[in-house]
Amino acid sequence: MPIERATLSTVEIDRMYALYSASYCDAQRDLFNQDLNDKSHCIILRDTDHVIQGFSTLKLYNSTWNNAPLRVIFSGDTIIDPAHWGSQQLAFAWIRFAGELQKQTPEVPLYWFLICKGHRTYRYLRAFAHDYAPRGDAATAPDRQSLMDQLATQRFGDAYDAATGVLSFPKPQGRLTPELAQISDAHRRLPDVAYFLQRNPHYARGDELVCLCELSPTNLRPMARRLFCSE
């Protein structure tokens, strides 16, 4: 379920950090809190005992492009306890919430600004949308690339390399644990995974691939569109 970040209790944040620190090396509570405080909303996955088993943080903000307004959903950390990887409830709740945001101001384009440390996150783009960037089977349009560059530079400054589309930090902002960083041979053979590894070869040291997707009914695949457009 989506909630405003400011409404999270200390107990809930403690549980979220426990999930985060189990998935990432270099975990530091002060940096986690700082990042969380920058976000506006969280999507929470709970089990039948109401215990948090996953979460996705996001920041909704306004921007401009070519002198026209746009809205941006910047995705932060998305963590699911491995025991609940089979559940798609977090993803479903995320796309429903994005649809609610789009309905608030349908005349203003809504973009999903995503940075990917791993292929699992990157593959959500194809699961949700017809068109997104970057992708292996289509070149990124120049105007879309310029918008990506603008958003990434505004948020990350010199950590963003426009030539590669990758964020690299002098001090890692969170590396996947060795277990989660491993990619099976079967997954490596998937075209989207192979492309992700080509674009972000140093993902295991914390590099992140910058991605962008317009969230609109016409750009979403049928299942995602049904959730996005649901009342």
pLDDT tens, position by position, 213-223: 999 999 999 99
Stretch 109-117: mean pLDDT, rounded?
A: 95
Which domain, by its residues, includes 98? 2-229
Domains identified in the chain, total number: 1
CATH of the domain at 12: 3.40.630.30
Beta carbons within 10 angstroms of residue 198's beta carbon: 9
pLDDT at 26 over 80: no
* Alpha carbon distance 83, 19 (integer Å): 12
Residue 57 banded pLDDT, cuts 50, 70, 90: very high
Provide the H-helix boundaries in 54-190: 89-104, 119-128, 142-156, 178-181, 185-188
pLDDT tens, position by position, 190-208: 999 999 999 999 988 889 9
Beta carbons within 10 angstroms of residue 73's beta carbon: 22
pLDDT at 1 over 70: no
What separation in angstroms does the CA of 39 have from each of 6, 30, 59, 92? 9, 15, 4, 20
- Beta strand segments in the chain, E: 2-4, 24-25, 41-46, 52-65, 68-80, 110-116, 160-161, 166-167, 175-176, 208-214
Residue indicated by tokens 């099976």: 184
